[in-house]
Amino acid sequence: MYRILEKKELSMRNIWYKIEAPHVAKKVQPGQFVIVRAFPNGERIPLTPVMWDREEGWIVLITFIRGKTTMRMANELKPGDSILNIAGPLGNPAEMEKFGKILAIGAYTGIVEVYPIAKAWQELGNDVTTLHVTFEPMVVLKDELEKAVGRHVLETVPIDPNLDFPTNMKNVTKRLVEKVREMLEKENYDLVFMVGPAGDQKAVFEVVKEFGIPMKADLHPIMVDGTGMCGACRVTVGGEVKFACIDGPEFDAYQVDWDVLIARTGYYTDMEMRAFQEYMKLFEQAVQGGEQ
Amino acid sequence: MAVKRKLIKERVPTPERPAEERIRDFKEVNLGYTFELAVKEAERCLQCPANYAPCIKGCPVHIDIPGFIGKLVQYRDDPDKAVKEALQVIWACNSLPATTGRVCPQEDQCEMNCVMGKVGDKVNIGKLERFVADYAREKGIDEELLFEMVPKIEKKGQKVAIIGAGPAGLTAAGELAKLGYDVTIYEALHEPGGVLMYGIPEFRLPKSIVKSEIDKLRKLGVKILTDHIVGKTVTIEELLEEYDAVFIGSGAGTPRLINAPGINLNGIYTANEFLTRVNLMKAYLFPEYDTPVKVGKRVIVIGAGNTAMDAARSARRFGAEVIIAYRRGEEDVSAREEEVEHAKEEGIKFEYFINPVEFIGDENGNVKAVKFEKMKPLEERDSRGKRKIVGTGEYVTIEADTVIIAIGKHPNRLIINTPGLKVERGRIVVDENLMTSIPGVFAGGDAIRGEATVILAMGDGRRAAKAIHEYLTKKRNENA
């Protein structure tokens, strides 16, 4: 049981949890993640420690509300409550080297995973530029990134209320691709790194490839245990099967089979939707019942 | 004076739920003995003397089998006393009898050498062991025994860390706690139990029973740290600074995959993933439980071991048509006979001598068929005594929307990458005392054997506990 010390809404659908988890705080390195189970009938989801204090024994997780589990956490967990399970740290740390001039990209809440890595790269003597592309009301960690790296570029896209969410998301992808192209044309980078939806990672990779710049990507396949015992998170890298939880999550973007990753990531979409809708129905009933 | 007794040749059957009823849920298939039936079966035992009894030799943890069976007959007029005495005999060697009574392949172990087999059916040792444990749990007799035992344990003042809360680790922990050591188990998942929780399905081994057996270990003083991944959260080196000895029981949890095109298509699960979703995460209760699993109309399970049977029978309970595809023949199937019988009763089909060469997908990246090469057996046998097989160059394609790969597992890489730990072919190397290349670090179960059985892992756990006890006794005496 891991106590929630702080919880706050950073921006639209982005929730900050500061949690007591000394076993993770003591060991975690930039690039590593944890698996969280918040409720007795709950699922295990991968999340990334964004900040930590080894002495005080806490980590910060920032979740984007995108389905039942993250919504339920946002609705039902209060400071002082406990999270049932936080396993970790898991995965391999990001490579800590002097690469030179780095462009580190975060799409949507992906920027929270970029933060610890970009910060460490900068501290190591790299010249890091971070790029955050997201919807206007969903900006996070702006001040923190401005402090941590050489330059933080924020690109926001308005949410058009007349369009559905997938169409709005296409606008983010478009802006992302345009902005990356513009930045790569203007300046020479030694490395591009990106965290975000697999489709956006692929779109950005297509641009980076034209410039021939090395690119790394943190992959987000579906995970269950996170310790290499099931292969749910398997990806094809350089023609070989790899398990993202123990071989990654960071891989050479040039070696990744993006189409396999995109297909696998979407396999449970219908069930995810059902779980979410049924939860929201119950939640609304509970809220209305409480008001009467 | 010798007592004349009548041999009862036929085994007293245990009631089972009919196939058509049980394939609709995940509740236990076999209902076990009542006290009356258990006594009737116990009476069939010839009570061979303990120093001779072949059944004891066949049990990897050497339970005094005639001893516990005899108690049931001796105190037949006092069921509670009978069970308490019997449980005490079992507990001397085995802390998880409700589990082993259910999942051991008794036909290859204790029951294999049962003398009764020469004149009739062998004594149903597994089901009797299970009866004792179940009755004791239901009546709280096990709690009573623990309450009497715990205060008598003399503390040794030395600490042992156990890596992995599966059958090997739990057994070692139980034995060491009984000997008075301060034991802490490090477990990566959120529930202890290892394969007993994530692998073996509810309908063979109810999870509430595993949990209750593990709770008894806690009452013996064993501490369990879940969410701790040794190799990541803490290293073996660090454990050695804090503990006097370490036991590695991390199992063989990494699934083997088939090196064939299309292996990463959607709808292709490893048995580990499928069973973890179903058993540990209770995906069969979705959306009441949050973890999803997808079982299509037709499921192909590749492999024919116990894991394949568990996966096939689980898939069947989602209403799917299930085919087990095996590259060898019926006589080579390695799963327990009882499980194969259960699978057949439940309507699972078996296809022999076919070997997958390609997984065929649709435009969305979902699997829709598996292409197999037809195989044929040779006279020549391999090192395990199985007939060798070769491809015929003929192919057959079978449609399926879910494929479950159950062709075996390797030990987990996170553990075996420990510096200084000698490993061969992915398995931890140990000496005759189960000590690894690192002094004070012992190992057992699937981590040293590759994929084996629950009871072999428990046997290792018990042997390792003895070896650790000797090692630590020497250490104590040196420091004294």
Q: Are the CB atoms for B339 and B416 separated by under 8 Å?
A: no
**DSSP one-letter string for A46-99:** EE-EEEEETTTTEEEEEEE--SHHHHHHHHH--TT-EESEEEEEESPPPP----
Q: Which residues of A touch B272 (CB under 8 A)?
A: 229-231
> Nearest CA to CA, how far is A12 from chain B (Å)?
24
pLDDT at B450: 85
Q: Which residues of B touch A84 (CB under 8 A)?
A: 190
Question: Which residues from B are below 8 Å from A when comparing CB atoms?
Answer: 188-190, 225-229, 232-234, 253-255, 257, 263-267, 269-270, 272-273, 276-277, 281-282, 285-292, 294, 364-366, 412-414
* Closest chain B residue by Cα to residue A21: B227
- Give A153's DSSP letter: E
Q: Does A265 touch chain B (CB under 8 A)?
A: no
pLDDT at A292: 46
Can you list the alpha helix ranges (DSSP code H) found in chain A? 22-25, 68-76, 111-123, 142-148, 165-186, 198-211, 244-247, 258-265, 269-291
What residue type is A174 in one-letter code? K
Q: Does A275 touch chain B (CB under 8 A)?
A: yes
> Nearest CA to CA, how far is A27 from chain B (Å)?
6
Interatomic CA distance for residues A43 and B287, integer angstroms: 11
Q: Say which range, B175-179, B196-200, B337-341, B353-357, has the weakest mean pLDDT.
A: B337-341
Q: pLDDT in tens for each of the 292 residues of chain A? A: 999 999 999 999 999 999 999 999 999 999 999 999 999 999 999 999 999 999 999 999 999 999 999 999 999 999 999 999 999 999 999 999 999 999 999 999 999 999 999 999 999 999 999 999 999 999 999 999 999 998 899 989 999 889 888 899 989 898 999 998 999 999 999 999 999 999 999 999 999 999 999 999 999 999 999 999 999 999 999 999 999 999 999 999 999 999 999 999 999 999 999 999 999 988 888 777 765 4
Q: Does A27 touch chain B (CB under 8 A)?
A: yes
SS3 A1: coil
Per 3-state DSSP, what percentage of chain B is helix, strand, and coil (rounded to 5)? 40, 20, 40
Region label for A234, one of left (φ > 0), alpha (ψ between -120 and 50) or beta (otherwise): beta
Interatomic CA distance for residues A246 and B227, integer angstroms: 16
Contact B414 A227 (CB under 8 A): yes
Which residues does A72 contact at the CB level (< 8 Å), separation at least 6? Answer: A38, A39, A42, A279
Q: Does A202 touch chain B (CB under 8 A)?
A: no
What is the rounded average pLDDT of the residues B374-381? 90
Q: Which of B267, B291, B364 sits opposite A43 (nearest CB)?
A: B291
Q: Please return the burial class of A7, using the count of CB atoms within 10 Å of its CB with bins 0-12, 13-18 and 19+.
A: middle
> Nearest CA to CA, how far is B425 from chain A (Å)?
18
Q: Which of B189, B254, B290 sits opposite A228 (nearest CB)?
A: B254
Q: Are the CB atoms for B204 and B241 separated by under 8 Å?
A: no
> Nearest CA to CA, how far is A95 from chain B (Å)?
16
Chain centroid offset of residue A289 CA: 35
Q: Are the CB atoms for A134 and A223 separated by under 8 Å?
A: no
Whole-complex ipTM: 0.93
- Give B434's DSSP letter: S
Q: How many CB pairs under 8 A join A and B?
A: 125
* Closest chain B residue by Cα to residue A90: B232
Give the length of chain A.
292
Terminal alpha carbon distance of chain B: 53
pLDDT at B107: 87
* Closest chain A residue by Cα to residue B410: A229
Assess whether the previous peptide bond of B54 is cis (omega < 30° from 0).
no
Terminal alpha carbon distance of chain A: 34
> Nearest CA to CA, how far is B157 from chain A (Å)?
25
Q: Strand B441-443 and strand B245-248: pairing?
A: parallel
Contact B292 A278 (CB under 8 A): no
Q: Which of A23, A69, A260 sits opposite B228 (nearest CB)?
A: A23
Which residues does B383 contact at the CB level (< 8 Å), separation at least 6? Answer: none
**pLDDT tens track for A89-142:** 999 999 999 999 999 999 999 999 999 999 999 999 999 999 999 999 999 999
Contact A268 B294 (CB under 8 A): yes
Assess whether the previous peptide bond of B192 is cis (omega < 30° from 0).
no
What residue type is B15 in one-letter code? P
Q: Which residues of A touch B257 (CB under 8 A)?
A: 231, 234, 241
**DSSP one-letter string for B278-346:** IIIS-GGGTTTSS------SEEEEE--SHHHHHHHHHHHTTT-EEEEE-SS-GGG--S-HHHHHHHHHT
Contact A85 B228 (CB under 8 A): no
Q: Are the CB atoms for A32 and A49 separated by under 8 Å?
A: yes
Q: Kindly state the helix (H) or strand (E) to which residue B373 belongs, with its residue range.
A: strand B367-381
Q: Kindly state the helix (H) or strand (E) to which residue B65 belongs, with its residue range.
A: helix B65-74
Which residues does B382 contact at the CB level (< 8 Å), separation at least 6? Answer: B388
In 3D space, the residue among B283, B280, B305 whose CA is nearest the CA of residue B292 turns out to be: B283
pLDDT at A86: 98
Q: Which residues of A touch B364 (CB under 8 A)?
A: 263
Can you list the alpha helix ranges (DSSP code H) found in B220-351? 236-242, 271-275, 306-316, 337-345
Q: Are the CB atoms for B208 and B215 separated by under 8 Å?
A: no
**pLDDT tens track for B119-149:** 899 999 999 999 999 999 999 999 999 999 9
- For residue B1, pLDDT over 50 is answered with no
Q: Which residues of B touch A27 (CB under 8 A)?
A: 232-234
Interatomic CA distance for residues A114 and A250, integer angstroms: 12
What residue type is A226 in one-letter code? G
Q: Kindly state the helix (H) or strand (E) to which residue B427 belongs, with its residue range.
A: strand B427-428
Q: Indicate which of A19, A39, A230 best probes the interface with B, i.e. most B CBs within 10 Å of its own CB.
A: A230
In 3D space, the residue among B349, B360, B284 whose CA is nearest the CA of residue B322 turns out to be: B349
- Count CA atoms within 13 Å of residue A104 on its CB side: 32
**pLDDT tens track for B390-402:** 999 999 999 999 9
**pLDDT tens track for B183-212:** 999 999 999 999 999 999 999 999 999 999
**What pLDDT band is residue B5 in, cutting at 50, 70 and 90?**
low
* Closest chain A residue by Cα to residue B194: A229
Neighbour order of strands in the sheet with B402-405: B268-270, B402-405, B298-302, B321-325, B349-351
* Closest chain B residue by Cα to residue A232: B273
Contact A87 B226 (CB under 8 A): yes
Q: Which of B276, B282, B414 sits opposite A224 (nearest CB)?
A: B276
* Closest chain A residue by Cα to residue B293: A268
In 3D space, the residue among B79, B71, B23 whose CA is nearest the CA of residue B47 turns out to be: B71
Region label for A88, one of left (φ > 0), alpha (ψ between -120 and 50) or beta (otherwise): left
**pLDDT tens track for B397-439:** 999 999 999 998 888 877 777 889 999 888 999 999 999 999 9
Interatomic CA distance for residues B45 and B111, integer angstroms: 11
Which residues does B37 contact at the CB level (< 8 Å), separation at least 6? Answer: B12, B14
> Nearest CA to CA, how far is B191 from chain A (Å)?
10
pTM for this predicted structure: 0.93
Q: Which of B188, B255, B270 sits opposite A87 (nearest CB)?
A: B188
Q: Does A84 touch chain B (CB under 8 A)?
A: yes
Q: Does A228 touch chain B (CB under 8 A)?
A: yes
pLDDT at B425: 84
